[in-house]
Structure formats: structure tokens, C-alpha cells
Amino acid sequence: MAVAGIILSAGGSTRMGTCKALLKHPSGATMLEAHVQALSSCCTEIIIVAGAHYKDIQARLPAGCQLVKNPDWNKSDPFASLVLGLKETCAKSVLVTPVDTPPATTAELSRLLDQPHTAVLSWQEQAGHPVLLRPDVLARIHAGEQPRSGLRSFLEDAHHVPAKTPAAIASWNTLKQWQAWHDSTRA
């Protein structure tokens, strides 16, 4: 079955001070490239939704990826970017991740895809990333159902797939947070 991957990267990164997608992953790739590489192990297509840093991301777009622009990035939320990305695919299953989180491992993605319904990678029952959207939730989003509080509103009944590390719930908004995560991967 075809699975699409959507990477959300439309924010302004104002607290970070630089484009999060182009930060260096410990492997030496950009964070965007690291997410693409991870998703490529199981996705037939990868869609990147960009906004504030659209041109920077476009200039470094990994091969084989589709780039979608969120022109309203500064007055919309990540759910609006997700909807834009979903308009570009007919896949019945979609893996969604923000660019400002560690990429999931191949094993974690495989365990998510083993789930028959919508699922989320979690650490100690705390929902993290990525999220696997199956037809049950995709149909509600395509029908225009508005969430109470972003994508998480659609995940109330999602199966939690336990991660082996707390990286599943890690994210960063500042260089200090990112540097702490980056340094922890080298320890």
C-alpha cells in the first residue's frame, strides 16, 4: 500500500533565528535531509510543506521530494500546512512529522506502519512524532472537519506505539534546545 510522508516546515523559526530544516543533523545532513532519508525507507512519496523559508528549502530540496508552499504560514498553524500537504497526495496512509524533531528510526516507522489504524509514536504514553494517519482520520480531514486543537484533536483514539528512547517527544524552538539535543546524540 502506498504511504506518503509529509514533513511540516512552514514556520518562521523566529526563536531559533535560522531555518530549522537546514540545521545540521549529527550525521552531517540537514535536518530536512535526515527526515527525508528516514521516510524514504517506507514512503512512496515525500511532501515538504514550507513557508517562511520556502526559497531556502527549495534551493536545498532533496531529490524526489515535492515542495508545497504555505503562503499563509505567518497566520496559520501546522494543521493548515498538513491540509495543504494532504491535497497533494492520494495515499491512504500518511506519516506526518515536523522538521524540528529527531527523525524516527526505520524500526519505529515499521512499528507504526504495522498498526491498522491511526497511530502515534510515543514515549511513556506521551504522544510524539511521527504520526501515522490512516483512512479513518484522513477522511475526517478531507471532509473539512476543523480540529479543536490542531492535529492532536484527531489523535484522541490513536494507538500509542512505544518508542525506545525519549527522542520521540523531543522538539526544539531555540538554538539552545537544539544544541542540547544535538550534543546528547554524541554522548
Instruction: Give the CATH number of the domain where residue 83 resides.
Output: 3.90.550.10
**Structure confidence at residue 8 (pLDDT):** 96
Percent of the chain with pLDDT over 70: 97
Residue 181: enclosing H or E segment and its boundaries?
helix 175-184
Task: Report d(CA 29, CA 24) in Å as an integer.
Answer: 6
pLDDT grade for 15, boundaries at 50, 70 and 90 = confident
Residue 172: the pLDDT is 84
* 11-30 mean pLDDT: 81
Confidence of residue 12 (pLDDT cuts 50, 70, 90): confident
| Overall pTM > 0.85 | yes
What gap in Å lies between CA 39 and CA 151, rounded to an integer? 20
Instruction: Pull the grid cell for residue 47.
Output: 511532501
| pLDDT of residue 17 exceeding 80 | no
Taking a C-beta distance cutoff of 8 angstroms, is the pair 108, 161 a contact?
A: yes
Q: Give the pLDDT of residue 14.
A: 67
Q: How far apart are CA 18 and CA 175, in angstroms?
A: 9
**Residue 13 carries which DSSP code?**
-
Residue 122 has a pLDDT of 95
User: Span 103-123, mean pLDDT?
Assistant: 95
Cα separation, 118 vs 92, in Å, equals 11
CB hemisphere CA count around 104 (13 angstroms): 33
Per-residue model confidence as pLDDT tens digits over 89-99: 999 999 999 99
State the residue range of the domain holding 90: 3-184
| pLDDT at res. 13 | 73
Taking phi over 0 as left and psi of -120 to 50 as alpha, with beta for the rest, 140 belongs to alpha
Of 172 and 132, the one with more pLDDT: 132
Number of domains in the chain: 1
Spatial strand order of the sheet with 159-162 comes to 65-69, 45-50, 3-9, 93-98, 126-133, 119-123, 159-162
pLDDT of residue 178: 79
Over 60: is that where the pLDDT of 187 sits? no
The overall longest dimension of the chain from CA atoms, in Å, is 46
What integer best gives the mean pLDDT of the chain?
Answer: 91
Using CB atoms within 10 Å of the CB of residue 35, give its burial: 0 to 12 exposed, 13 to 18 middle, 19+ buried.
buried
